Chain A
Amino acid sequence: MDFLRPASWEEALAAKAEHPTAVPIAGGTDVMVEINFDHRRPEYLLDLNRIGDLSEWEVGADTVRLGASVPYTQIMENLRAELPGLALASHTVASPQIRNRGGVGGNLGTASPAGDAHPALLAAGAEVEVESAARGTRLIPIDAFYTGVKRNALQPDELIRAVHVRKADGPQQFSKVGTRNAMVIAVCAFGLALHPVTRTVRTGIGSAAPTPVRAEAAEEFLNAALEEGGFWDNGKIITPSVAKRFADLCSAACNPIDDVRGTASYRRHAVGVMARRTLTWTWESYRGTHRTTEGAA
């Protein structure tokens, strides 16, 4: 095994180009477990810790450019207003120690369906900034990023540099079911973002299909129902039948398996419950803001 320590992003890209099998390591919270348990013996470890700008973020007009290694703790503490869904998801990642090391780049690189960031990224809308020495930078839409179980759209010579996440234009929520009250891998998870500007909702489901997925039929149904009922304007309570239909469609978007963490049947059920609850929470929050705005006007 060789340990590569690039001092700059350019050096890292060059190293990855020269050694496409090199395994990038930043927080180490996935890679080191595999090494400690002898599940993996990469030829090269590519340490990204020395590349400082991977741990930085910029808040732009419409998006946040979040460095791949920004620790979850920083996201929780500093980006709660801009990326509320991701901040909530970050708070559910493993333990404080892991949140101090791990970042979204690791979740994306591993592309496990159980990664906590995925549902929030899917719901908010995001693009993954990847780069290779040979072909430069490209932005991969999050919807096209996950290609299979623990597989993503990255080429062997590419590294994840950042993720561009749309700034919240409305309430967002994230829920995750685990069989412990802390430090637990998701049995399944659900992210929901209201986008009042476009009058759309977006969802993200974790650990209930081979990849993180959106519940597109549920989104379409809810978009139409909200539009038809004039909900965005009148700020009324969403009717239970609409919420139930939305929850059912979210359940239907799952394609889960039975495993040691839970049954497929439970995952479908739980995603539906989380969908209904997060819809209620976000919509209540939207109504609150809506009423305040109306009142002020």
Chain B
Amino acid sequence: MRVNFTVNGRPREADDVWEGESLLYVLRERLGLPGSKNACEQGECGSCTVRLDGVPVCACLVAAGQAEGREVVTVEGLADYARQRAQGGCAAGACGTSLQDGRHRPAEGTGTGSQAGEGTELSPVQQAFIDAGAVQCGFCTPGLLVASDELLERNPNPTDADIREALSGNLCRCTGYEKIMDAVRLAAARQSEGV
């Protein structure tokens, strides 16, 4: 079947979709957006968290056909989404994005060079995750970023218990969560200072 929906502000179309495919599979394998991760595919880890019409959901549990006509924001579009929100103009990813949706072809390698990604504009939570040391293997990171960003959108000054509750659907196996707590606190503090 064919599925049309909006991803990170851009209308996208996927063809020959098998009816049992998840939104996650379509994003990753058909639209060249592998940022949302496939850690459990059973809604028990949060690594595939995306915004569906603004609401954080596990993309692995949304049937591809259910995304028809809807707005999806993935980690790839998070920086634009946050920027447009900060500028006061955007709801649920309806705004455009300049993001290049590139397939991860093998030739691109893993790009661990020190200059990789330099100059990329990041959202406050993305920057805070780097600065606080909240990223190790990074597989949980995209889902945590989408969930954290939504938390701070809803509740700009969360308590620690609020942060823990909001992120209780996102598993991380590397960090022991302490640096993730630091990152969200840092993003909240920077946000309130208007940095």
Instruction: Name A's B-contacting residues (CB within 8 A).
Output: 1-3, 5, 25, 27-29, 31-33, 35-37, 41, 45, 47, 49, 94-98, 100-101, 181-183
Could you jot down 6 A-B contacts, CB within 8 Å?
A1-B20, A28-B62, A37-B41, A47-B65, A47-B66, A98-B43
The docked-state distance in angstroms from the alpha carbon of A41 to that of B62 is 16
Q: Is the CB of A29 within 8 A of B63?
A: no
The docked-state distance in angstroms from the alpha carbon of A32 to that of B42 is 8
Q: Is the CB of A45 within 8 A of B168?
A: no
User: For residue B19, which residues in chain A have a CB less than 8 angstroms away from its CB?
Assistant: 1-3, 45
Q: Is the CB of B60 within 8 A of A183?
A: no
16 extra interchain contacts, Cβ-Cβ under 8 A, other than A3-B1, A95-B43, A101-B62?
A5-B68, A37-B41, A41-B20, A45-B19, A45-B20, A45-B63, A49-B66, A94-B43, A95-B169, A96-B147, A97-B46, A98-B43, A98-B58, A100-B55, A100-B56, A182-B168
User: For residue B44, which residues in chain A have a CB less than 8 angstroms away from its CB?
Assistant: 94-95, 183
Give B152 Cβ to nearest chain A Cβ, in Å. Answer: 14
User: For residue B63, which residues in chain A have a CB less than 8 angstroms away from its CB?
Assistant: 3, 25, 28, 31-32, 35, 45, 47
Asked if B49 is at the interface (CB within 8 A of a chain A CB), the reply is yes
For A40, the closest partner residue in chain B by CB is B20
The docked-state distance in angstroms from the alpha carbon of A182 to that of B165 is 8
Instruction: Name B's A-contacting residues (CB within 8 A).
Output: 1, 18-20, 22, 41-44, 46, 49, 55-58, 60-63, 65-66, 68, 147, 165-166, 168-170
User: For residue B55, which residues in chain A have a CB less than 8 angstroms away from its CB?
Assistant: 100-101
User: Given A33-B43, A96-B56, A100-B55, do A28 and B147 touch, yes or no (CB 8 Å)?
Assistant: no
User: For residue A95, which residues in chain B have a CB less than 8 angstroms away from its CB?
Assistant: 43-44, 46, 58, 168-170
User: For residue B66, which residues in chain A have a CB less than 8 angstroms away from its CB?
Assistant: 25, 28, 47, 49
Give B54 Cβ to nearest chain A Cβ, in Å. Answer: 10
User: For residue A47, which residues in chain B have a CB less than 8 angstroms away from its CB?
Assistant: 63, 65-66
Give B105 Cβ to nearest chain A Cβ, in Å. Answer: 26
For A73, the closest partner residue in chain B by CB is B55
Contact pick for B60, options A5, A36, A181, CB 8 Å: A36
Contact pick for B65, options A5, A37, A97, A101, CB 8 Å: A5
The docked-state distance in angstroms from the alpha carbon of A17 to that of B60 is 29
Give B38 Cβ to nearest chain A Cβ, in Å. Answer: 10
Q: Is the CB of A97 within 8 A of B58?
A: yes
The docked-state distance in angstroms from the alpha carbon of A85 to that of B41 is 30
For B150, the closest partner residue in chain A by CB is A96
Q: Is the CB of B18 within 8 A of A97?
A: no
User: For residue A5, which residues in chain B have a CB less than 8 angstroms away from its CB?
Assistant: 65, 68
Give B8 Cβ to nearest chain A Cβ, in Å. Answer: 19
User: Given A3-B65, A29-B61, do A36 and B46 touch, yes or no (CB 8 Å)?
Assistant: no
The docked-state distance in angstroms from the alpha carbon of A98 to that of B57 is 7
The docked-state distance in angstroms from the alpha carbon of A280 to that of B140 is 41
For A28, the closest partner residue in chain B by CB is B61
Give A122 Cβ to nearest chain B Cβ, in Å. Answer: 25
User: For residue B20, which residues in chain A have a CB less than 8 angstroms away from its CB?
Assistant: 1, 35, 41, 45
Give B63 Cβ to nearest chain A Cβ, in Å. Answer: 6
User: For residue B65, which residues in chain A have a CB less than 8 angstroms away from its CB?
Assistant: 3, 5, 45, 47
